[in-house]
Structure 1
């Protein structure tokens, strides 16, 4: 037997151990970052004094700066790209942990519902803006169509509430089809003006329509699923649980399902066709793509997601009124989409937390929240036009990670 054979025997084990390290490292990075983020959100949501909120914000800013300098941000991004399934599971587990930790806090659970439902609506805007380049500045109007449809159907019909949610999304998509022709005939800021006009007309229509409650609005019945009423508090193992916990779980389910659909759409040939249409319509038409078809699909699908989110939001708040769906609310959704990174669905979650939760914790800007949203959009466009998490370039031939 050759001596070199004996020497080479330990090498496969060593190489296996070397290869095992990079395999374990992404999972460990994702676990540590998820636990740290959940712990921070727990203390931030639990903080009540303005001094504690300011200290936690300063701590977050210092942590983000240090992570960027030390390369930790890049390590988390690489781990998430290598293990996308694990990163999503950790996100679900972290959200469930927050719901469990704040099981008695009505206010915190209501904020979690708002973040999840607005994220769902903004996923629809991402399909329109980020994927196909269709302008829609009336996101709050389609959100409101879903809420008002639920108020009418749940009050005056015996349709199961699960089906009511789906029908509310379909109503938003069908009513939005009225705008298909003018949106397709216009481009750029002209198309944006069409959707802005629709949002204003929608609010005016609600205010003058007595059947829909006029300026006073309508009450929305609570969600009922298989005989279980979501608006009733429950007791589990002797612990009182807020009724908002049920809505938080429902909102999480809808947000996660919408996220999965949008990610699958992005990776498919449909998402590729939308990207080509957004990038260069002339080139897309030259290669045989039907421009109008993909724009219509993106516009109606995005409005469907917004209608579903608005349906559940109406049940959560138990009341809808015209003042809840103004152009300022559309600006709020737009700021979430731009802040997260146009076309990046992952960035919507932190952007929604910043836009929705931060003004609630900083009480001194309560009266100036819409000024805060406008200033936020301007600051993003000036200093970080690609958003917090810019969308990466699509790779047609993915590279294999070096082991």
Structure 2
């Protein structure tokens, strides 16, 4: 009803705007008391949204008005980027968070939708960057196609991993993916064709001839050369978000969910568990590879260290902390996992202690993650519980 619609839309605008305002404050914070205040405020908001009736009503309003909340997030992103248009470090962190969140959208499709525990996500992320290094260094392929090739290569090579993955279950799947990541890293380290342990240089991203590494002004206004990368990373996340959301609400998403929930029951209805798990794995790898390709071109180099087990654990921690299956949760968790430790640099002695305490507190009092995935209810308007 109109009387109920306006408050819901107001809540759907207020919550994303407040979240991005907090992110902007975190990016610009330099004093210890500011960082501590942001952390306390962040945890307090989580408690209010989770433990109080008004807070739960606001969260429900955001779910009910997804389009309004998403539009507000897009506008807030542009405002944050323009606010920090001359700040190299802040824009680098925004781009890193956006690209990590994009990779974690793909990892969510694999883990939350398909039920495949992929502990080699960083290996595929690095493969995307190596693909960009080889293609930009030895071919004249347009850079937009290079990004697509990064996703295609990681998907094709993911088929090698799929063979043992589809024939194992439970924690054995995790062991297989861990072994693949270690094997890939060792292969890259001893292969001189790919630069060995030193890695390879990658030219700057240059779509349609616009070299991002040389852009220093827009319409006569000085900007950081990281601004185009931050915009491209945000756009890439938006496309991954839209694709994953459409997948989730389609019959394909329903089939993948059914296979994950009960493979035996799904097979009795004609759904092939192997086929749909493979579909989720390949789509997720494509997103991870594209994000890795752009990340490599932004940094200008890639080396085997990025394919390490620790880096894969970081991506998995983002997915779990953000809430399995919740796409916006990857953004919030990426900011906590990637940006927060950097902002705690001034207090080196307590940096890791504070960061670990925040993560433990979130998982203790909100075990479903920062933004838990709503329960799917078939037949409802958007396919999930309102």
The TM-score normalised by the length of structure 1 is 0.89
Equivalences for residues 204-283 of structure 1 within 5 A:
204-283=186-265
Equivalences for residues 298-309 of structure 1 within 5 A:
298-309=280-291
Aligned to 1:10: none
Q: Is the 8 A contact 1:125 1:337 kept in 2?
A: yes
Aligned to 1:6: none
Q: Secondary structure at the match of 2:73?
A: helix
Aligned to 1:98: 80
Match of 2:26 among 31, 37, 44: 44
Q: Is the 8 A contact 2:344 2:351 kept in 1?
A: no
Equivalences for residues 180-199 of structure 1 within 5 A:
180-199=162-181
Q: Is the 8 A contact 1:120 1:306 kept in 2?
A: yes
CA distance in 2, matches of 1:78, 1:294: 31
Q: Post-superposition shift, 1:235?
A: 1.9
C-alpha offsets along residues 28-68 of structure 1, whole Å, 9 cap, x if unaligned? 22223333333322222111122321122223333443455
Q: Which runs of 5+ in 2 are unaligned?
A: none
CA distance in 2, matches of 1:370, 1:207: 30
Q: Is the 8 A contact 1:359 1:365 kept in 2?
A: no
Q: Is the 8 A contact 2:341 2:352 kept in 1?
A: no
CA distance in 1, matches of 2:280, 2:360: 26
Q: Is the 8 A contact 1:150 1:164 kept in 2?
A: yes
Aligned to 1:21: 3
Q: Is the 8 A contact 1:29 1:75 kept in 2?
A: no
Q: Would you say 1:114 and 2:112 are equivalent positions? A: no
RMSD: 2.3
1:177/1:376 CA distance change after superposition, 3 Å: farther
Q: Post-superposition shift, 1:296?
A: 0.8
Aligned to 1:147: 129
Q: Secondary structure at the match of 2:368?
A: coil
Q: Is the 8 A contact 2:341 2:355 kept in 1?
A: no
CA distance in 1, matches of 2:135, 2:348: 34
CA distance in 1, matches of 2:127, 2:66: 34
Aligned to 1:156: 138
Q: Post-superposition shift, 1:82?
A: 2.2
Match of 1:73 among 55, 64, 87: 55
Moved more, 373-382 or 195-204: 373-382
CA distance in 2, matches of 1:167, 1:269: 27
C-alpha offsets along residues 7-36 of structure 1, whole Å, 9 cap, x if unaligned? xxxxxxxxxxxx432222222222233333
Q: Is the 8 A contact 1:335 1:377 kept in 2?
A: no
Aligned to 1:349: 331
CA distance in 2, matches of 1:142, 1:230: 24
CA distance in 2, matches of 1:370, 1:152: 37
Greater Rg over alpha carbons, structure:
1
CA distance in 1, matches of 2:127, 2:353: 26
1:342/1:286 CA distance change after superposition, 3 Å: same
Moved more, 137-146 or 296-305: 296-305
CA distance in 1, matches of 2:351, 2:284: 26
Q: Post-superposition shift, 1:286?
A: 1.7
Q: Secondary structure at the match of 2:193?
A: coil
C-alpha offsets along residues 204-249 of structure 1, whole Å, 9 cap, x if unaligned? 0111011111111111100112121111133234421111110111
Aligned to 2:380: 398
The TM-score normalised by the length of structure 2 is 0.93
Moved more, 34-43 or 134-143: 34-43
Match of 2:15 among 24, 33, 42: 33
